Chain A
Amino acid sequence: MLNDIVFWLLGVVAVASGVAVFRVDSMARATYALAISFVAVGLILLIFDLEFLGVITVLMMVMEMAIMAIYMIMFMGMNPALMPMSMVHGKRPALVVATGTFLVLAAGALLIPWPERRGAPASHLTVSLGEAIMGSKMLVMLTVSPVLFATIVAALVLAVPGGRYDRLGDDLRRRPDFHRPPAGDEQ
Protein backbone atom coordinates (compact mmCIF):
# COMPACT_ATOMS: atom_id res chain seq x y z
CA MET A 1 0.00 0.00 0.00
CA LEU A 2 2.75 2.42 0.97
CA ASN A 3 4.61 1.47 -2.21
CA ASP A 4 1.50 2.28 -4.26
CA ILE A 5 1.18 5.74 -2.73
CA VAL A 6 4.87 6.48 -3.18
CA PHE A 7 4.76 5.22 -6.77
CA TRP A 8 1.81 7.44 -7.71
CA LEU A 9 3.36 10.40 -5.97
CA LEU A 10 6.68 9.93 -7.79
CA GLY A 11 4.90 9.18 -11.09
CA VAL A 12 2.94 12.43 -10.89
CA VAL A 13 6.11 14.34 -9.95
CA ALA A 14 8.04 12.74 -12.87
CA VAL A 15 5.39 13.60 -15.47
CA ALA A 16 4.59 17.05 -14.05
CA SER A 17 8.25 18.06 -13.95
CA GLY A 18 8.66 16.59 -17.45
CA VAL A 19 5.87 18.88 -18.66
CA ALA A 20 7.44 21.76 -16.75
CA VAL A 21 10.66 21.34 -18.77
CA PHE A 22 8.87 22.79 -21.81
CA ARG A 23 6.56 25.15 -19.91
CA VAL A 24 8.87 27.16 -17.66
CA ASP A 25 10.19 30.43 -19.03
CA SER A 26 13.92 29.90 -18.61
CA MET A 27 16.37 27.17 -19.57
CA ALA A 28 17.88 26.95 -16.09
CA ARG A 29 14.49 26.16 -14.59
CA ALA A 30 13.92 23.64 -17.40
CA THR A 31 17.16 21.92 -16.40
CA TYR A 32 16.09 21.71 -12.77
CA ALA A 33 12.68 20.35 -13.81
CA LEU A 34 14.34 17.62 -15.91
CA ALA A 35 16.63 16.72 -13.01
CA ILE A 36 13.57 16.36 -10.73
CA SER A 37 11.90 14.10 -13.31
CA PHE A 38 14.98 11.87 -13.44
CA VAL A 39 15.29 11.73 -9.66
CA ALA A 40 11.62 10.70 -9.42
CA VAL A 41 12.16 7.88 -11.94
CA GLY A 42 15.34 6.82 -10.11
CA LEU A 43 13.33 6.61 -6.87
CA ILE A 44 10.63 4.55 -8.61
CA LEU A 45 13.37 2.10 -9.62
CA LEU A 46 14.24 1.83 -5.93
CA ILE A 47 10.62 0.71 -5.28
CA PHE A 48 11.32 -2.11 -7.75
CA ASP A 49 14.36 -3.07 -5.62
CA LEU A 50 16.68 -1.94 -8.43
CA GLU A 51 19.04 -0.19 -6.04
CA PHE A 52 22.06 -0.03 -8.34
CA LEU A 53 20.21 1.22 -11.40
CA GLY A 54 18.14 3.67 -9.36
CA VAL A 55 21.17 5.19 -7.68
CA ILE A 56 23.24 5.51 -10.87
CA THR A 57 20.24 7.06 -12.66
CA VAL A 58 19.96 9.72 -9.96
CA LEU A 59 23.71 10.37 -9.73
CA MET A 60 24.29 10.42 -13.47
CA MET A 61 21.36 12.67 -14.24
CA VAL A 62 22.12 15.21 -11.53
CA MET A 63 25.67 15.49 -12.92
CA GLU A 64 24.35 15.70 -16.46
CA MET A 65 21.98 18.50 -15.59
CA ALA A 66 24.85 20.41 -13.99
CA ILE A 67 26.83 20.06 -17.24
CA MET A 68 23.77 21.10 -19.22
CA ALA A 69 23.44 24.27 -17.15
CA ILE A 70 27.07 25.15 -17.96
CA TYR A 71 26.42 24.59 -21.66
CA MET A 72 23.39 26.86 -21.61
CA ILE A 73 25.37 29.66 -20.02
CA MET A 74 28.17 29.11 -22.58
CA PHE A 75 25.91 29.08 -25.62
CA MET A 76 23.25 31.58 -24.65
CA GLY A 77 25.80 34.08 -23.35
CA MET A 78 23.54 35.30 -20.55
CA ASN A 79 22.14 34.37 -17.21
CA PRO A 80 19.61 31.80 -18.37
CA ALA A 81 17.74 31.91 -15.08
CA LEU A 82 16.76 35.53 -15.71
CA MET A 83 16.05 35.38 -19.43
CA PRO A 84 12.51 34.32 -20.35
CA MET A 85 12.38 32.37 -23.58
CA SER A 86 9.96 30.59 -25.83
CA MET A 87 11.75 29.16 -28.83
CA VAL A 88 9.49 26.60 -30.46
CA HIS A 89 8.41 25.75 -33.98
CA GLY A 90 5.53 23.59 -35.17
CA LYS A 91 3.93 23.59 -31.74
CA ARG A 92 0.54 22.29 -32.87
CA PRO A 93 1.81 19.38 -35.06
CA ALA A 94 4.19 18.38 -32.23
CA LEU A 95 1.28 18.40 -29.80
CA VAL A 96 -0.80 16.23 -32.14
CA VAL A 97 2.05 13.73 -32.66
CA ALA A 98 2.78 13.54 -28.92
CA THR A 99 -0.90 13.06 -28.02
CA GLY A 100 -1.30 10.38 -30.70
CA THR A 101 1.80 8.58 -29.44
CA PHE A 102 0.50 8.67 -25.87
CA LEU A 103 -2.88 7.24 -26.93
CA VAL A 104 -1.25 4.40 -28.91
CA LEU A 105 1.17 3.54 -26.08
CA ALA A 106 -1.57 3.77 -23.43
CA ALA A 107 -3.87 1.55 -25.51
CA GLY A 108 -1.05 -0.99 -25.84
CA ALA A 109 -0.35 -0.89 -22.11
CA LEU A 110 -4.01 -1.38 -21.18
CA LEU A 111 -5.20 -3.78 -23.89
CA ILE A 112 -2.31 -6.23 -24.20
CA PRO A 113 -2.86 -9.33 -22.03
CA TRP A 114 0.45 -9.24 -20.19
CA PRO A 115 1.72 -12.63 -18.98
CA GLU A 116 2.07 -13.59 -15.34
CA ARG A 117 5.31 -12.91 -13.52
CA ARG A 118 7.86 -15.70 -13.94
CA GLY A 119 10.40 -16.35 -11.22
CA ALA A 120 11.38 -14.21 -8.25
CA PRO A 121 14.09 -11.57 -7.86
CA ALA A 122 17.46 -12.75 -6.58
CA SER A 123 18.17 -12.06 -2.93
CA HIS A 124 21.10 -9.77 -3.81
CA LEU A 125 20.14 -7.98 -7.02
CA THR A 126 23.29 -5.89 -7.41
CA VAL A 127 25.45 -8.99 -6.96
CA SER A 128 23.37 -10.86 -9.54
CA LEU A 129 23.74 -7.95 -12.00
CA GLY A 130 27.51 -7.91 -11.47
CA GLU A 131 27.73 -11.66 -11.97
CA ALA A 132 25.59 -11.40 -15.13
CA ILE A 133 27.69 -8.70 -16.83
CA MET A 134 30.91 -10.45 -15.84
CA GLY A 135 29.59 -13.89 -16.78
CA SER A 136 26.71 -14.86 -19.04
CA LYS A 137 26.19 -11.28 -20.33
CA MET A 138 29.87 -10.54 -20.86
CA LEU A 139 29.21 -9.78 -24.56
CA VAL A 140 27.11 -6.79 -23.50
CA MET A 141 29.97 -5.46 -21.43
CA LEU A 142 32.44 -6.13 -24.26
CA THR A 143 30.20 -4.13 -26.62
CA VAL A 144 29.39 -1.28 -24.26
CA SER A 145 33.03 -0.65 -23.32
CA PRO A 146 34.38 0.07 -26.86
CA VAL A 147 31.22 2.05 -27.67
CA LEU A 148 31.85 4.30 -24.68
CA PHE A 149 35.53 4.64 -25.59
CA ALA A 150 34.64 5.45 -29.21
CA THR A 151 32.21 8.05 -27.90
CA ILE A 152 34.95 9.73 -25.89
CA VAL A 153 37.25 9.86 -28.93
CA ALA A 154 34.50 10.99 -31.35
CA ALA A 155 33.18 13.65 -28.97
CA LEU A 156 36.70 15.05 -28.49
CA VAL A 157 37.39 15.06 -32.23
CA LEU A 158 34.18 17.00 -32.82
CA ALA A 159 34.42 19.39 -29.90
CA VAL A 160 38.12 20.30 -29.83
CA PRO A 161 39.35 22.91 -32.35
CA GLY A 162 41.80 21.76 -35.04
CA GLY A 163 44.91 20.04 -33.74
CA ARG A 164 48.56 19.89 -34.87
CA TYR A 165 47.73 18.08 -38.12
CA ASP A 166 45.56 21.05 -39.16
CA ARG A 167 48.34 23.52 -38.34
CA LEU A 168 51.38 21.56 -39.60
CA GLY A 169 49.96 19.29 -42.33
CA ASP A 170 49.69 15.51 -42.52
CA ASP A 171 53.47 15.04 -42.29
CA LEU A 172 53.81 17.69 -39.53
CA ARG A 173 56.47 19.50 -41.67
CA ARG A 174 54.60 22.66 -42.66
CA ARG A 175 55.75 25.83 -40.93
CA PRO A 176 53.08 27.01 -38.48
CA ASP A 177 51.18 30.16 -39.43
CA PHE A 178 50.64 31.90 -36.13
CA HIS A 179 48.41 34.55 -37.71
CA ARG A 180 45.89 32.02 -39.02
CA PRO A 181 43.04 31.22 -36.62
CA PRO A 182 42.71 27.57 -35.59
CA ALA A 183 40.64 25.37 -37.89
CA GLY A 184 36.98 25.73 -37.08
CA ASP A 185 37.35 29.22 -35.64
CA GLU A 186 37.09 31.00 -38.98
CA GLN A 187 33.95 33.12 -38.94
Chain B
Amino acid sequence: MTLQTVLLVAAALFSVGLYGAISQQVVVMVMMGLELMLNAVILAVGGFWWFLSPAPDGQVLALVVITAMTVEMAMGFAVATLLHRTRNADMTDMATDLSQ
Protein backbone atom coordinates (compact mmCIF):
# COMPACT_ATOMS: atom_id res chain seq x y z
CA MET B 1 0.00 0.00 0.00
CA THR B 2 1.55 3.28 -1.17
CA LEU B 3 0.26 6.78 -1.82
CA GLN B 4 0.17 5.98 -5.54
CA THR B 5 -2.08 2.96 -5.09
CA VAL B 6 -4.44 4.90 -2.82
CA LEU B 7 -4.62 7.69 -5.40
CA LEU B 8 -5.25 5.17 -8.18
CA VAL B 9 -8.24 3.75 -6.30
CA ALA B 10 -9.45 7.31 -5.62
CA ALA B 11 -9.04 8.20 -9.32
CA ALA B 12 -11.07 5.14 -10.33
CA LEU B 13 -13.84 6.07 -7.89
CA PHE B 14 -13.82 9.69 -9.07
CA SER B 15 -14.05 8.68 -12.74
CA VAL B 16 -16.92 6.27 -12.11
CA GLY B 17 -18.76 9.01 -10.22
CA LEU B 18 -18.09 11.49 -13.04
CA TYR B 19 -19.51 9.04 -15.57
CA GLY B 20 -22.66 8.71 -13.48
CA ALA B 21 -23.04 12.45 -12.90
CA ILE B 22 -22.80 13.14 -16.65
CA SER B 23 -24.79 10.23 -18.04
CA GLN B 24 -27.66 9.67 -15.62
CA GLN B 25 -31.07 11.23 -16.23
CA VAL B 26 -32.73 10.76 -12.84
CA VAL B 27 -31.84 13.54 -10.39
CA VAL B 28 -31.23 11.11 -7.51
CA MET B 29 -28.86 9.04 -9.68
CA VAL B 30 -26.93 12.20 -10.64
CA MET B 31 -26.56 12.91 -6.92
CA MET B 32 -25.23 9.38 -6.44
CA GLY B 33 -22.53 10.15 -9.03
CA LEU B 34 -21.57 13.34 -7.19
CA GLU B 35 -21.47 11.42 -3.89
CA LEU B 36 -19.12 8.88 -5.45
CA MET B 37 -16.82 11.70 -6.59
CA LEU B 38 -16.73 13.15 -3.08
CA ASN B 39 -16.12 9.63 -1.75
CA ALA B 40 -12.97 9.56 -3.89
CA VAL B 41 -11.89 12.96 -2.53
CA ILE B 42 -12.28 11.69 1.06
CA LEU B 43 -10.11 8.66 0.22
CA ALA B 44 -7.46 10.83 -1.46
CA VAL B 45 -7.37 13.23 1.51
CA GLY B 46 -6.95 10.25 3.85
CA GLY B 47 -4.10 8.95 1.69
CA PHE B 48 -2.35 12.32 1.53
CA TRP B 49 -2.73 12.67 5.28
CA TRP B 50 -1.27 9.25 6.05
CA PHE B 51 1.58 9.19 3.54
CA LEU B 52 2.68 12.86 3.43
CA SER B 53 1.81 14.83 6.53
CA PRO B 54 -0.08 13.12 9.38
CA ALA B 55 -0.89 16.40 11.13
CA PRO B 56 -4.37 17.44 12.36
CA ASP B 57 -4.71 19.83 9.37
CA GLY B 58 -5.44 16.95 7.01
CA GLN B 59 -8.13 15.59 9.31
CA VAL B 60 -9.76 19.04 9.42
CA LEU B 61 -9.70 19.15 5.60
CA ALA B 62 -11.40 15.74 5.46
CA LEU B 63 -14.02 17.04 7.88
CA VAL B 64 -14.68 19.99 5.54
CA VAL B 65 -15.10 17.59 2.58
CA ILE B 66 -17.59 15.50 4.57
CA THR B 67 -19.44 18.72 5.43
CA ALA B 68 -19.54 19.66 1.73
CA MET B 69 -21.00 16.25 1.02
CA THR B 70 -23.71 16.81 3.62
CA VAL B 71 -24.58 20.23 2.20
CA GLU B 72 -24.70 18.83 -1.34
CA MET B 73 -27.02 16.05 -0.27
CA ALA B 74 -29.38 18.32 1.66
CA MET B 75 -29.63 20.96 -1.06
CA GLY B 76 -29.88 18.34 -3.79
CA PHE B 77 -32.80 16.63 -2.07
CA ALA B 78 -34.45 20.01 -1.46
CA VAL B 79 -34.19 20.99 -5.15
CA ALA B 80 -35.39 17.51 -6.17
CA THR B 81 -38.40 17.89 -3.87
CA LEU B 82 -39.17 21.35 -5.27
CA LEU B 83 -38.91 20.07 -8.85
CA HIS B 84 -41.13 17.12 -8.12
CA ARG B 85 -43.76 19.24 -6.36
CA THR B 86 -43.92 22.05 -8.90
CA ARG B 87 -43.44 20.12 -12.16
CA ASN B 88 -43.81 16.47 -11.21
CA ALA B 89 -40.33 16.05 -12.68
CA ASP B 90 -37.63 13.67 -11.52
CA MET B 91 -35.39 13.76 -14.61
CA THR B 92 -32.68 16.27 -15.40
CA ASP B 93 -33.96 16.63 -18.98
CA MET B 94 -37.21 18.06 -17.57
CA ALA B 95 -35.34 20.88 -15.82
CA THR B 96 -32.87 22.08 -18.42
CA ASP B 97 -34.11 25.67 -17.96
CA LEU B 98 -32.41 25.71 -14.53
CA SER B 99 -29.08 26.03 -16.33
CA GLN B 100 -30.12 29.33 -17.94
Residues of A within 8 A of B (CB): 3-4, 7-8, 11, 14-15, 18-19, 21-22, 27, 30-31, 34, 37-38, 41, 44-45, 47-50, 52-53, 56-57, 60-61, 64, 67-68, 71-72, 74-76, 85, 87-91, 93-95, 97-99, 101-102, 105-106, 108-110, 114-115, 117-122, 125, 128-129, 131-133, 137, 140, 144, 147-148, 151-152, 154-156, 158-159, 161, 184-185, 187
Contacts and interface: CB of A to CB of B under 8 A. Distances in A.
Contacts of A56: 66
Interface residues of B, number: 72
B11 A109 contact: yes
Interface of B is mostly: helix
B95 interface: no
Contacts, number: 232
A50 B57 contact: no
Contacts of B9: 11, 14-15
A90 B23 contact: yes
Given A109-B7, A114-B52, A185-B85, 11 more contacts: A14-B39, A15-B12, A21-B16, A50-B49, A75-B28, A101-B11, A115-B52, A137-B56, A137-B57, A147-B71, A159-B81
Interface of B: 1, 3-20, 22-29, 31-33, 35-36, 39, 42-43, 46-47, 49-57, 59-60, 62-64, 66-67, 69-71, 73-75, 77-82, 84-86, 88, 90-91, 93
